[in-house]
Amino acid sequence: MLLRHTNSDIKERKALTVNPAKTCQPIGAMYVALGIHGCLPHSHGSQGCCAYHRSTLTRHFKEPVMAATSSFTEGASVFGGQSNLMQSIDNIFAIYEPEIIAVHSTCLSETIGDDLGQIVAKAREDGKVPPGRHVIQASTPSYTGSHVTGYANMLEGVVKYFAESANEKIRQVNLLSGWVEPSDIREFKRLLKLMKVSPVILPDTSDVLDAPMTGKYDMYPKGGTTIPDMVSMGDSMVSLGLGEWGTKKAAVALDNKCKVKFEITDIPIGLKATDRFIQALSKAGLVSIPESITDERGRLLDVITDMHQYLYGKRVAVWGDPDNIIPLIEFLVDIDMKPVYIVSGTPGKRFDKRMSEILSERVPEAKFKNGANADMFLMHQWIKEEAVDLLIGNTYGKYIARDENIPFVRMGFPIVDRIGHSYFPTVGYLGGIRILEKILGAMMDKIDSTCPEESFELVM
């Protein structure tokens, strides 16, 4: 057994997290910065933070992930990191020549009280930022929230710095894309084109974290939201934020700074969340919904009804980030599965409310928890109490899947042992079909490999 010490004897824990269902803020900030064109993320802290974040993102995308670090040593930790950051800005512009440096803090620089805004302002005053180049910053202390909070904080930092209003509205919609894959961004673009809505998507990791093999290495790949696009966000008709945890702060900041009204909707995972997304787009862009999209919806429904018998009543355990798993849980309930165990390490009171709304009527037995000590160890203990038919979550679930012999669908972050997530979307109606394909594939493979020979089925 891989997790041989896990048993069903659940003891309340207050201080110890075991097998976390979250990680820390700075990696989310780094992820946002990678979705900006010509931008080099910079980690203001010890070297290890930067190395860990780059490694994790690289393993997930199997793509280059570049970022610099302030390389704190004891001296910087005692006397403050200003000189390290000033040197960094100098060296980065001289050696790596990005258009933008996106600085985020760490628990180290936050604990000693470094004020990034003040240091960056001083760098500008001292002429360390060449003309036409930019340094933006976000405070991302690792001891509050989670990687999702870091995503939200950097996204807010980006729009606060770049978005400008020339008081002349442009017929475009800001799409704050939430923590999704490059493949999902491509799917958003396709859907927006079908809807004839012109967007600015921020961040846009397509053509950055799914760059083609060309025999040439580009430190700043062709993808990513551009500076003119980010500036223009201040004059967009409306902002659409996908996921409250990841995008609300930035949407509010845009409204405060440039009076761009916003709507927050879920990341369009599954049927109803995609319905809401399409309707929100229709409203935001003042466009009608084309028949081709209604047809896509119909195809998703068609697959659900075709395969309903394999889904009905099946018990599922899910872990991940609120913005991603809330619509996923809703989808599972819609297709008559029973998401019975749900954990997310990311705190936020709204989680309970949303879960209750989705689950109380159809899956009253569901257990869910987020925030402190909502970890994969607890979820595994619940599974030990009463088993499930399916696991959905990031790669770390494979240890539970093997020990308990449970079919496992990888969704979320990080996925470091399979490919596909960065190329095939899980958003939109077609993404819904892909989720179904994966769920059914995993569960039916188990049926095929374990059922008695006499009941082995050719057609399913």
106-125 positions binding other proteins, by CB under 8 A: 106-108, 111-112
| CB burial of residue 138 (10 Å; 0-12, 13-18, 19+) | buried
Which residues between 142 and 201 bind other proteins (CB under 8 A)?
Answer: 142-144, 146
Which residues between 376 and 415 bind other proteins (CB under 8 A)?
Answer: 377, 396, 399
- What is the smallest separation between the CB atom of 370 and other proteins, expressed in angstroms? 13
Which segment (39-47, 119-127, 241-249, 272-280) binds other proteins by CB under 8 A? 39-47
Which segment (31-39, 62-70, 170-178, 232-240) binds other proteins by CB under 8 A? 62-70
- What is the smallest separation between the CB atom of 347 and other proteins, expressed in angstroms? 9
**How far is residue 68's CA from residue 44's CA, in Å, rounded to a whole number?**
9
- What is the smallest separation between the CB atom of 144 and other proteins, expressed in angstroms? 5
- DSSP alpha helix (H) spans, 62-181: 74-79, 82-95, 107-111, 116-125, 147-162
CB within 8 A of 225, min separation 6: which ones?
Answer: 35, 36, 37, 200, 201, 202, 203, 204
Which segment (184-192, 211-219, 238-246, 277-285) binds other proteins by CB under 8 A? 211-219
Which segment (68-76, 166-174, 253-261, 307-315) binds other proteins by CB under 8 A? 68-76
Give the 3-state secondary structure of residue 14: coil
Assess 8 for contact with other proteins (CB under 8 A). no
Which residues between 319 and 348 bind other proteins (CB under 8 A)?
Answer: 345
Give me 437's structure tokens: 């394909």
Cα angle 417-448-306, degrees, rounded to a multiple of 5: 90
Q: Please identify which residue in 36, 37, 46, 390 interacts with other proteins, judged by CB under 8 A.
A: 46
**How far is residue 437's CA from residue 420's CA, in Å, rounded to a whole number?**
13
Size of the site for other proteins (CB under 8 A): 84
DSSP, res 375: -
**How far is residue 410's CA from residue 421's CA, in Å, rounded to a whole number?**
9
- What is the smallest separation between the CB atom of 122 and other proteins, expressed in angstroms? 15
Q: Please identify which residue in 38, 64, 80, 290 interacts with other proteins, judged by CB under 8 A.
A: 64
- What is the smallest separation between the CB atom of 41 and other proteins, expressed in angstroms? 11
Assess 372 for contact with other proteins (CB under 8 A). yes
Q: Please identify which residue in 29, 39, 76, 254 interacts with other proteins, judged by CB under 8 A.
A: 76
- What is the smallest separation between the CB atom of 152 and other proteins, expressed in angstroms? 16
Between 77 and 165, name the residue whose CB sits nearer to other proteins.
77
Q: Please identify which residue in 127, 131, 132, 215 interacts with other proteins, judged by CB under 8 A.
A: 215
Residue 416: CB atoms within 10 A of its CB come to: 17
- What is the smallest separation between the CB atom of 433 and other proteins, expressed in angstroms? 26
Do 289 and 278 meet the contact criterion of CB atoms below 8 Å apart? Answer: yes
Assess 91 for contact with other proteins (CB under 8 A). yes
Which residues between 124 and 143 bind other proteins (CB under 8 A)?
Answer: 141-143
- What is the smallest separation between the CB atom of 316 and other proteins, expressed in angstroms? 23
Which segment (210-218, 256-264, 297-305, 312-320) binds other proteins by CB under 8 A? 210-218
Do 89 and 117 meet the contact criterion of CB atoms below 8 Å apart? Answer: no
**How far is residue 7's CA from residue 264's CA, in Å, rounded to a whole number?**
40
Which residues between 13 and 32 bind other proteins (CB under 8 A)?
Answer: 13-20, 22-27
**How far is residue 237's CA from residue 72's CA, in Å, rounded to a whole number?**
43
**How far is residue 155's CA from residue 152's CA, in Å, rounded to a whole number?**
5
- What is the smallest separation between the CB atom of 417 and other proteins, expressed in angstroms? 9
**How far is residue 25's CA from residue 385's CA, in Å, rounded to a whole number?**
33
Do 70 and 42 meet the contact criterion of CB atoms below 8 Å apart? Answer: yes
